[in-house]
A = this chain, B = another copy of it.
């Protein structure tokens, strides 16, 4: 591998000059610059990023930690972070946390150690104190999908409460009186925020005490969890005509459970999901879902993180994003 010295020698100039043309310094004569560029090309020279990072104390790497890249939700997050990173000449270092505290810690620390210039973290398993400590250690760390008290300006998150409220309200507006909620048994903040949104929507829209009872079932946030929860709900309550689910895969499970038991969706039971993930469009019927604008959120997070790393004034938008309801074919007016 050719080094800067080789280039300097071959071109008959000093390493400083080569360095200048690499970095596009304006203080080099066009002739010299051309000569150096040609030499670099001839030698197949590539600047050593490690050396650059070491001396300049700033790398062009941005770290991203997500739960699992193979999940399209996180895949999109990574993609949109990469989009803005790429535009600014940066590249991505990624770490998977798998929703485990130990893995999340490891991922964050590995990235810090690798001198990432900015850091976008999606963590659900680590507590606020731990995250605050990391944030203090690395000044350009931004958190996505989480609100940490004291770090409001470094958090980009979704208004889960509002999303759940929207979904439930929509169901009620379609005339449904018995609207159930299928929740996640994982104790993360999203869970309780969505549940609260559901309950409040019921309360707000309630006409008399009997009309809109709270009906809930909890299970793991996967397809099978959705199936089990739906089954449980059905056993206790046969008057139910609509369900709002914690996420799209649980909704998929709920639809399966419903169909298996002879219920038609949406004619007999309406279903709403959350996330508007890839599968929502492919389910049958196509799933009405609460859209999670992860693309915009990921881009903002990347911009904020890079801005922090260069101490630029940040475009000071608020970190809270509003979800919207995407209406498809899994909801219909109540037949009553």
Cβ–Cβ < 8 Å partners of A92 in chain B: 93-95
Query: Are A110 and B91 in contact, with the CB atoms below 8 A?
Result: yes
A79 at the interface (CB under 8 A from B): yes
Cβ–Cβ < 8 Å partners of A69 in chain B: 69, 75, 78-79, 82
Query: In the bound complex, what is the Cα–Cα distance between A299 and B94 (angstroms)?
Result: 17
Query: In the bound complex, what is the Cα–Cα distance between A53 and B50 (angstroms)?
Result: 6
Query: In the bound complex, what is the Cα–Cα distance between A110 and B89 (angstroms)?
Result: 10
Query: In the bound complex, what is the Cα–Cα distance between A250 and B44 (angstroms)?
Result: 42
Q: Which of B82, B111, B114, B283 contacts A284 (CB 8 A)?
A: B283
Interface residues on A, range: 35 or more
Query: Are B46 and A50 in contact, with the CB atoms below 8 A?
Result: no
Query: Are A91 and B93 in contact, with the CB atoms below 8 A?
Result: yes
A310 at the interface (CB under 8 A from B): no
Of residues 63 through 120 on chain A, the ones whose CB sits less than 8 Å from some CB of chain B are 68-72, 74-76, 78-79, 82, 86, 91-96, 109-115
A180 at the interface (CB under 8 A from B): no
Of residues 289 through 331 on chain A, the ones whose CB sits less than 8 Å from some CB of chain B are none
Q: Which of B82, B96, B279 contacts A282 (CB 8 A)?
A: B279
A49 at the interface (CB under 8 A from B): yes
Interface centre among A69, A76, A93, A115 (most CB of B within 10 A): A69
Query: In the bound complex, what is the Cα–Cα distance between A119 and B54 (angstroms)?
Result: 23
Cβ–Cβ < 8 Å partners of A95 in chain B: 91-92
Query: In the bound complex, what is the Cα–Cα distance between A51 and B47 (angstroms)?
Result: 15
A61 at the interface (CB under 8 A from B): yes
CB distance from A85 to the nearest CB of B (A): 10
With known contacts A69-B79, A70-B75, A91-B95, A115–B279 Cβ distance under 8 A: no
A210 at the interface (CB under 8 A from B): no
Query: In the bound complex, what is the Cα–Cα distance between A91 and B115 (angstroms)?
Result: 13
Query: In the bound complex, what is the Cα–Cα distance between A59 and B284 (angstroms)?
Result: 48
Of residues 190 through 242 on chain A, the ones whose CB sits less than 8 Å from some CB of chain B are none
Query: In the bound complex, what is the Cα–Cα distance between A284 and B92 (angstroms)?
Result: 37
CB distance from A28 to the nearest CB of B (A): 21
Query: Chain B: which residue is nearest A83 at the CB level?
Result: B96
Query: In the bound complex, what is the Cα–Cα distance between A59 and B51 (angstroms)?
Result: 12
CB distance from A324 to the nearest CB of B (A): 20
Query: Chain B: which residue is nearest A279 at the CB level?
Result: B282
A31 at the interface (CB under 8 A from B): no
Cβ–Cβ < 8 Å partners of A86 in chain B: 96
Q: Give me the 3 closest cross-chain CB pairs, A-B, nearest first.
A: A284-B284, A50-B53, A70-B75
Extra inter-chain contacts (5) besides given A46-B109, A94-B94, CB under 8 Å: A49-B114, A51-B54, A72-B72, A78-B94, A79-B96
- Sample 25 A-B pairs with CB under 8 A, ordered by A number: A44-B137, A46-B109, A49-B113, A49-B114, A49-B115, A50-B53, A54-B54, A61-B93, A68-B79, A70-B72, A70-B76, A70-B78, A70-B79, A82-B94, A82-B96, A86-B96, A91-B93, A91-B94, A91-B95, A91-B114, A92-B94, A92-B95, A93-B94, A278-B279, A283-B284
Q: Which residues of A contact B (CB under 8 A)?
A: 44, 46-51, 53-54, 59, 61, 68-72, 74-76, 78-79, 82, 86, 91-96, 109-115, 137, 252, 278-279, 282-284
